[in-house]
Structures are given as structure tokens and as C-alpha cells.
Amino acid sequence: MRSIIKDGQVAQDCWQVLRADTEGQYPAVAADVDVIIPLALWLADKAAWQGRAGQTAVWLAPDEDPQQLAADLNSLPLVAVDFPAFTDGRGYSLGRLLRERYSYAGELRALGDVWVDLLHYLWQVGFNAFEIKGGKDLDGALSGYDTFTERYQSTHREPVPLFRRRVTSL
């Protein structure tokens, strides 16, 4: 079982992320395993995935529209957003959309090329779980939440921008 960061703590994780191999084939998954599947598989046979003994969650690629998942969000215990490269920031927008436009209240996980340096920003847009890239010290990564003490812009976690906070505190 691997470890992730969830809600500000290092936690054990039982979810299996389902990804296609180089030939586009998906590995078989036991029916009682909790699995995170790509949006395309979910949309292709939603009823079959919902009828499994294990829990099913969905991951979004950065170019996918969360609107496609909007009707199912209340039934999903977890939605993940893939960050295929450290420099790909589209997942930040997906996270904020899921929290603010679609009011998703479940676990929102960042997976893929996720580094400690991103933790603070991902947390601010609404992510609460992180699969940090392998080989990194997760206990040390918790310091990523405190990278900055103030933010100029509004965020999901702090909706009032700094200039308004300063005016109201006088």
C-alpha cells in the first residue's frame, strides 16, 4: 500500500489508478478493489462501474471538461486530476471548477507529475489529496502547505483577495 498526503497528513492509500498501457489496453481490475478510472471508461459503461463491489472514482486528463462528470459528482467519493507534466497547469483550473462551479465536496486528488513545490497552490484551488512524485519524503512534503503566508489573489480556500482583507482589517 502506498502513502499519499490527504487533508494535511500522510495517509495510506488503497486506491488503484487505472491507466492504459502503451498499446492502449487497460489492465484487469478485481471487482473488490477501489479503482480510479479515466473519464472515457466511466462514460462508456457507467452502470457496470457503479455495480462493482469496490468503489469507483474517476480521473480527468487536463484537456477534459468536468461538465461531462457533473451529473455524477454527488455519487463519486473521489475525483482525481492528472498532471502529466510539472509545467502543465490546466489541472489547477479543473480543480477550482470542480469545487466552485460544480460544488464537488468529495476528495479531490492531484496525481501524476505532482511535486512538493505545487502543494501550496493545489491546496489553494481546492485539492485536498496529493500523490507526490515517487522518491520524495512525504513527511517533509507537508511543509509545502506553508510555503506562503499571504496570497494576493482570491482562492478557493481564501475567497477574499489581499487588498480587500487589508481594507477590512483597518
**58 in Cβ contact with 79 (< 8 Å):** yes
Examine the pLDDT at 166 and tell me if it is beyond 70. Answer: yes
What pLDDT, on a 0 to 100 scale, did the predictor assign at position 16?
Answer: 96
Kindly report, residue by residue over 53-90, the tens digit of the pLDDT: 999 999 999 999 999 999 999 999 999 999 999 889 99
What pLDDT, on a 0 to 100 scale, did the predictor assign at position 50?
Answer: 95
Say which residue the cell 511543509 belongs to: 143
Average pLDDT of the segment spanning 115-135: 91
Measured on CA atoms in the order 82, 87, 88, 90, is the torsion positive or negative? positive
What pLDDT, on a 0 to 100 scale, did the predictor assign at position 141?
Answer: 84
Average pLDDT of the segment spanning 112-121: 90
Examine the pLDDT at 168 and tell me if it is beyond 80. Answer: no
Dist CA 84 CA 81 (whole Å): 10
For residue 61, give every residue at least 6 positions away whose Cβ sits within 8 Å of its Cβ, in sequence order, or none.
38, 39, 82, 84
**69 in Cβ contact with 41 (< 8 Å):** no
Kindly report, residue by residue over 16-67, the tens digit of the pLDDT: 999 999 999 999 999 999 999 999 999 999 999 999 999 999 999 999 999 9
Helices (H), 59-126: 90-96, 119-125
**Could you tell me the pLDDT band of residue 111, with boundaries at 50, 70 and 90?**
very high
